[in-house]
Amino acid sequence: MLRVEGLYAAYGELEVLHGVSLTVEAGQFVSVIGPNGAGKTTLLRVLSGLHPTTRGAVVFDGEPITGFPPDLICERGFVHVPEGRLLFPGMSVREHLELGAYNRRARTHLREQMEHIFALFPILRQRHAQLAGTLSGGEQQMLAIARALMAKPLLLALDEPSLGLAPRMAAEIFAALRQLNHEGLTILLISQEVTQALLMAHRAYVLETGRVILDGPGPALLHNAQIVASYLGIAATS
């Protein structure tokens, strides 16, 4: 579904990705974990065309998409839920969902996709006329995911969807992602909730200072001594 080969990216002179390679098979749940500043967000921004790549190749659904503008990448089915949700505070929930289906491919399935999303997040149906700025943090995250789902993704990429949420809300978000994956949606998750991210992952990648230093089946990494030492010691106490 997604093959990334030797990806480099920089902010001005400062290179933050030094040849990242990873593979996501269709139907898989893949997590990318790593400390702050490892380049996780940059990686997603490069993949979805929001940030330019200096070298390397991205192949999505059998075709190279390196250097494509974000709207084309989105239309092909790689849909990105950005960090910090990035909602439109002055627009209603329904307007967000309609906007999510901006591309032509998604537009034709607008009604049924909206029903599907309301089934997944019933709270959004209740709040459909409400302005996004008035939603709670968890509801906003649901809306950000719902808006992305409206684009009919083949692969849904999420950047820290549980950031700043109450634990119960975070659990709800992860449950929804698991359900989407069971329904066949390919998921690429970036998260600092290491335990959750690894437990759910068919495959996980550990990114440190712009390089993949470790990868393998998620639950297996959970028992990796290096991971336990670097991440879980902290994660367990927080």
Partner 1 sequence: MSRAVAAGLAVVLLIFPWVGTGEYPLALLYSTFMYVALAVAWNVIGGFAGYLSFGHAAFFGLGGYTTGFFLVRAGLSPFLTAPLGAAVAAAFAALAGYPCLRLRGPYFAVVTMILGLAVRAVVLNLPWTGAAEGLWMTLPPWEPIVARRAFYYAMLAVALVTVLAGRAVRLGKIGVGLEAIREDEEAAQSIGVPVVRLKMSALILSAGLTGLAGGIYAYDRSYIHPDFMFDLHLSVLAVLMALLGGRQSWAGPILGAVVVRLVDEALTVRVGTEAARIIFGLGLALVIVLLPDGVLPYLERLRWRAPRPPAAVPAAQARP
Binding residues (CB under 8 A) for partner 1: these are: 48, 50, 69-71, 73-75, 79-82, 86-91, 95, 98-100, 102-103, 126-127, 129-130, 134, 136, 147-148, 151
Whose Cβ is closer to partner 1: residue 188's or residue 221's? Answer: 188
Whose Cβ is closer to partner 1: residue 69's or residue 164's? Answer: 69
Region label for 22, one of left (φ > 0), alpha (ψ between -120 and 50) or beta (otherwise): beta
Give the number of other Cβ atoms within 10 Å of residue 49's Cβ. Answer: 21
Give the number of other Cβ atoms within 10 Å of residue 168's Cβ. Answer: 8
Whose Cβ is closer to partner 1: residue 8's or residue 88's? Answer: 88
Please report which residue ranges of the chain form alpha helices under DSSP H.
Answer: 40-47, 70-75, 93-100, 104-107, 110-120, 122-126, 137-149, 167-182, 194-200, 218-221, 225-227, 233-237
We find the least distance from the C-beta atom of residue 35 to partner 1, in angstroms, to be 24
Whose Cβ is closer to partner 1: residue 102's or residue 118's? Answer: 102
We find the least distance from the C-beta atom of residue 214 to partner 1, in angstroms, to be 28
We find the least distance from the C-beta atom of residue 147 to partner 1, in angstroms, to be 6
We find the least distance from the C-beta atom of residue 62 to partner 1, in angstroms, to be 20
The CA distance from 39 to 17, in Å, is 6
Whose Cβ is closer to partner 1: residue 81's or residue 188's? Answer: 81
Helix (H, G, I), strand (E, B) or coil at 55: strand
We find the least distance from the C-beta atom of residue 99 to partner 1, in angstroms, to be 5
